[in-house]
Structure 1
Amino acid sequence: MKRVTGIGGIFFKSKDPARLCAWYREHLGIDVTDWGGAIFQWGGEGSKAGMTIWSTFSQDTDKMLPGSAPFMINYRVADLDALLAALRSEGCQVLEQTESSEFGKFGWVIDPDGNKLELWEPPAGQ
């Protein structure tokens, strides 16, 4: 079974997300959008098209809970349900909640250092 197939996004907390986004836009040239993030498109000849999301969240967000880090990495996966079942059978701390939307399927696992990791199965064709 394929497990992680790439990085789907990087999310982190900021005391002042608007200021931080402006800094990244000005100094690193990241095209930060009105929703507070950027989309990096990738893929080329012989490769499937894809994207990686970069986004800030307010310092008081609960998006990373119950993780203890001020960041969360979103990993692309081929089959979310199969991977979550495998992780549970391997004794990993898998959160019970999952989400499905037009953006795909999401699940979460906590690593041994207490970091919450997001697992994302993109919609078919992405």
Structure 2
Amino acid sequence: MKRVTGIGGIFFQARDPVALIAWYQEHLGIDVQPWGAAFDWVDDAGNPTKGTTAWSIGAAGSEQFAPSKSTFMINYRVDDLDALLQALRDEGCDVLEKADDSEYGKFGWVMDPEGNKVELWEPPEGQ
């Protein structure tokens, strides 16, 4: 079974998210929208391929990453979320019971050994 197939998103918290977003826009040229930014995937020749990596800054202290105390969370793309979550449980990993299934795909979470919340995402068909 394939496990992680790519990075679906990078999310982090900031003490002053408005100022930090402005810095990334001005100095790194990231086109940040109210929800964050998206980086489309390309192959070695620069041709578009299926996939996007989301990038977003939120306010420090939000509960989005709970139960982690970390200020970041990485979202990894997976092919079969249910099978992977079961494999992680079987391997003794700390898989969170909550899972989401929405128009954006299926989401599940596992805590790594350092207490970081890791988001696993199975995109909807065709994405």
Letter in 2 for 1:62: E
RMSD in angstroms over aligned alpha carbons?
1.4
User: Does 1:71 pair with 2:72?
Assistant: yes
The aligned counterpart of 1:7 is 7
How far does residue 49 in structure 1 lie from its aligned partner after superposition? 1.5
Counterpart for residue 32 of structure 1: 32
Structure 2 runs not aligned, ≥5 long: none
Q: Choose between structure 1 and 2: higher strand proportion.
A: 2
Separation of aligned partners in 1, 2:103 and 2:24: 28
Q: Does residue 41 of structure 2 align to residue 42 of structure 1?
A: yes
- Deviation at residue 68 of structure 1 after TM alignment: 2.2
Amino acid at match of 1:117: V
Structure 2 CA distance for partners of 1:47 and 1:34, relative to 1, 3 Å: closer
Give the letter for the 1:38 counterpart.
A
Report how many residues are paired: 125
Q: Which stretches of structure 1, 4 residues or longer, exceed 2 Å deviation after superposition?
A: 43-48
Shift of 1:47: 7.2
Q: Amino acid of the residue matched to residue 10 of structure 2?
A: I
Determine if the alignment matches structure 1 residue 122 to structure 2 residue 123: yes
Correspondence list, 1:50-89, <5 A:
50-89=51-90
In the aligned structure 1, how far is the partner of 2:30 from the partner of 2:48? Answer: 24
Structure-2 separation of matches of 1:99 and 1:122: 12
CA drift of 1:16 comes to 1.2
Q: Percent identity?
A: 62
CA–CA separation in structure 1 for the residues paired with 2:105 and 2:17: 26
Contact 2:40–2:48 at 8 Å: present in 1 too? no
Q: Distance in 2 between matches of 1:31 and 1:90?
A: 40
TM, length-normalised to structure 2: 0.94
- Partner letter of residue 124 of structure 1? E
